[in-house]
Chains A and B, each alone.
Chain A
Amino acid sequence: MKERFRIVGFIGSIVFSTLLIFLFLYLRSKLLFSPLDPSIPGLDVISLIIILGYIWIGCYHLYLFFYLLKHTPSLQSNLWKYAIAFVFVLLSGILLISDATILMDIGKEYQNFDVSSEWILMFGLMGFHILTLLFSYYFTTQLQANRTRLFDSIQSGNNQMFVLTYQIMSICGVAGILLTGMYFLGGWNLIALQHRVGFILTSSVLLGLPLITFGGFWFMKFHKKPFIKWLDEHEWYLTTMGMSISLIIGWIIMAIGIGISGFIDGFSTIIWFLLCVFIQIEVLAIYVLFQSHME
């Protein structure tokens, strides 16, 4: 992967993101509650630009993911920063699907319902995409050039991925606890949740991210070995110990939640369950990271 792709992809993505924000502002001023169909000049061109923009930004996210994956084996320091970049790129990339769902919702509902909160969500998501692009671009400039091919680079790499996977898991755990905790404390019920698509998608991405990184890297590195040999005995020991502790803690939290739900009306068991899973992930990650610390 050549360096110029990274620069061209970045500039193109920033240009498209900015353009999309202006187009959304324009559309928001035109798509108003009205019994008449709005007449928007150049709607076909606008739609085409939006589709092209999302394809470009989506492809660049995919490029960034492989770029980060390729540089993993040569990494010696900055692991936490690297883990944050990984989470941002994957989360932002997968949330592009959420953008499309919200845009379709706006298109279907603007004549009958107030869609101002959908627009706020759209601008929030675009802000997150731009932040991801800026951060990941800055971070990739810090990495040393790696001219080997992705597959060869991973094959000959070291075992930084073990710690990195748990760092990614820890970041996802914290983000998941904040997200579900916010919804839980807000007293929102998942059934009645206005933005449940965005919430469910974000939660599933945060839960799936460590698996994607684990699977993506280790499958490429060890696909010829049986699964049990992907980690050495000490890494398996830490993983199983962490899982046992997190299982017990999650078990207790789940039991408390189910008990409370019998006494409090409007207690959302599903969001409590999600919160519990994120706490388990965080406990597992913290245990392994604490135990694998080297001086």
Chain B
Amino acid sequence: MVLENNIKQLRIENNQMSQQELAELVEVSRMTIYSIEVGKYTPSAALALRIAQVFSKPFEEVFYFNKGSEKK
């Protein structure tokens, strides 16, 4: 199963927050946020929780498993 996320959508809903602004809030680089958004990198539990906290959402509303993309 692939871990996907709603970060891009949540950023837009939060006053068009930029990748750089989110990166500064969770103390990582913009490249890291970009890589998570496009699914190139799966964040650690600690970073994923920090991102969820920024949007004041439960973890599972930000990150979820996409069962459809599971390899058979």
Contact = CB atoms under 8 A, between A and B. Distances in A.
A293 to B, nearest CB: 9
A291 B29 CA distance: 14
B31 A292 contact: yes
A294 interface: yes
B41 A234 contact: yes
Interface in A197-246: 232-235, 237
Contacts of A163: 31
Contacts of A237: 41
Majority DSSP secondary structure for residues of A touching B: helix
B15 to A, nearest CB: 21
A236 to B, nearest CB: 10
A101 interface: no
Interface residues of A, number: 12
A292 B27 CA distance: 18
A17 B34 CA distance: 47
Nearest to A163: B31
Interface string B31-53: 11011100011011001000000
B47 A162 contact: no
B11 interface: no
A291 B40 contact: yes
22 contacts: A158-B30, A159-B29, A159-B31, A162-B29, A233-B28, A233-B43, A233-B44, A233-B47, A234-B28, A234-B29, A234-B32, A234-B41, A234-B43, A235-B29, A235-B31, A235-B32, A237-B41, A291-B40, A292-B35, A294-B30, A294-B31, A294-B34
Interface of B: 27-32, 34-36, 40-41, 43-44, 47
Q: Which 4 A-B pairs have the closest CB atoms?
A: A234-B32, A232-B28, A159-B29, A294-B34
